[in-house]
Amino acid sequence: MSAWRGALSAVVAFVVAAIVTSPLSLGAASAAPTRGRVETGLTIDSPVLGHPFTYALYLPERRTAADRLPVLYLLHGRGDTEMAWLNQGQIAETLDRLIAAGTLPSVAVVMPMAADSWYVDDARGTRGFGSFATAFLTDFMPAIERRHTLASCRNSRAIGGLSMGGYGAALYAVTRPDLFASAISLSGSLFSDQPAEIEARLPFYNRVLAGIHGEPFDPERFRSWTVFSRLERAPPGIATLGVWLAAGEGDFPGILNGTVRLHQELRRRKIDSHLRITEGDHTWTLWSRAIEPALTWLGPRLDPSCAKD
């Protein structure tokens, strides 16, 4: 009997010890990080556009007023709004999880409303979307970083997006590598700069670009805004750019081909490029899944010491 009681006591002691040290214990649960804060319907003035930018914002929970957080500008696709990454992409939940796990540092994520601007300077001026690219880089980003105490240094600043936004992210990163150290393009609309291909796709471009590159459509202007054309004349700082590219194996051929070609062009120039071709097509099912490995790659590239300069 005494032996049985001794064995029972040992089992009880083991269970108690397991409860005390388990990450599911009350003490560990109370120490778990709380959710980040999401703000929507925000606006900031743009003298270049002549009207405010609208944007949504994710801020991690634990920060002090003096913290200068790294920042990711996250761009939406054609036909969407600044709310798309939050509503369809569940980006806040993904950020909460990765930051809590230590995979991603505490980072602010800024999601601007771009309508169907294609993130370029519209040939129609104020009759269209105005000089959106110029406004984004010279009005929006500096004002955002001042207002929300965000990093204003290259190594703590990244840009990413999907589809039209994946194009915008690659375009800005290749054009201004002095501003961005990292870029993420998911199913980016990385259209060809080859004249024959542009000519063959004129009906498509007239429909989806709707005057942005002139009325009538100006093929040479369009070519000058392709990522491949910008890559040809990229400044020396591009050598230290890091790029994450992903697309679904069932995506539109132009997007799949453009993504693979950009990876090859970057690697040929010895620029750090990572390519993922995954199961899926041009849908949120792919993008909400594909953003997680992209952010996991991005995490170590966001330099906290730079953010505190």
pLDDT in tens, 110-125: 999 999 999 999 999 9
Residue 21 has pLDDT above 90, yes or no: no
Model confidence at 29: pLDDT above 70: no
pLDDT level of residue 9 (50, 70, 90 thresholds): very low
**Cα separation, 100 vs 145, whole angstroms:** 24
Model confidence at 13, pLDDT cuts 50, 70, 90, reads very low
Rounded Cα gap, residues 22 and 281, in angstroms: 41
Q: For the sheet containing 182-186, what is the strand order?
A: 37-44, 53-59, 108-112, 71-75, 157-162, 182-186, 242-248, 272-278
Neighbours of 113 (CB within 10 A): 18
Q: Could you tell me the pLDDT band of residue 63, with boundaries at 50, 70 and 90?
A: low
Question: How many helices (H) and strands (E) are present in the chain, helices listed first?
Answer: 14, 8
- How far apart CA 128 and CA 139 sit, in angstroms, is 18
**Cα→Cα distances 108→38, 85, 140, Å:** 10, 14, 15
Q: Is the dihedral of CA 122, 126, 129, 132 positive or negative?
A: positive
- Is residue 123 a contact partner of residue 221, using CB atoms and an 8 Å limit? yes
CA distance 200 to 286: 29
Of the chain, the percentage scoring pLDDT greater than 70 comes to: 86
Report the relative pairing of strands 272-278 and 242-248 from DSSP bridges.
parallel
Q: Count the neighbouring beta carbons within 10 Å of the beta carbon of residue 14.
A: 10
Phi, psi (degrees; rounded to nearest 5) at 282: -85, 70
Predicted TM-score (pTM) of the model is 0.88
Helix (H, G, I), strand (E, B) or coil at 127: helix
pLDDT tens-digit readout, 216-275: 999 999 999 999 999 999 999 999 999 999 999 999 999 999 999 999 999 999 999 999
Which DSSP category does 35 fall into? Answer: P
Confidence of residue 15 (pLDDT cuts 50, 70, 90): very low
pLDDT of residue 131: 98
pLDDT at 188: 98
- The pLDDT confidence band at residue 151, using thresholds 50, 70 and 90, is confident
Residue 25 has pLDDT above 70, yes or no: no
66: pLDDT confidence band, cut at 50, 70 and 90?
A: low
Bond from prior residue into 195 cis (ω within 30 degrees of 0): no
Task: Using alpha carbons, list the distances in angstroms from residue 2 to 12, 23, 24, 183.
Answer: 15, 34, 33, 68
Predicted confidence (pLDDT) at residue 16 exceeds the cutoff of 60: no
Model pLDDT, residue 288? 98
Given this model, what pLDDT does residue 67 score? 72
State the DSSP H helix or E strand holding residue 246, giving kind and residue range, or none if neither.
strand 242-248
Among 15, 32, 14, which residue's Cα sits nearest to residue 23?
Answer: 32
Alpha helices in the chain (DSSP H): 2-21, 26-30, 84-87, 91-101, 132-135, 141-147, 164-175, 195-200, 202-209, 219-224, 227-232, 253-268, 284-298, 304-307
| Residue 309 pLDDT greater than 50, yes or no | no
> Which is more confidently placed, 65 or 190?
190
Arithmetic mean of pLDDT over the chain: 89
pLDDT at 26 over 80: no
Question: What is the sign of the dihedral through the CA atoms of 111, 78, 97 and 296?
Answer: negative
Residue tagged 């955002």 (tokens): 144
Tokens of 142: 């500096």
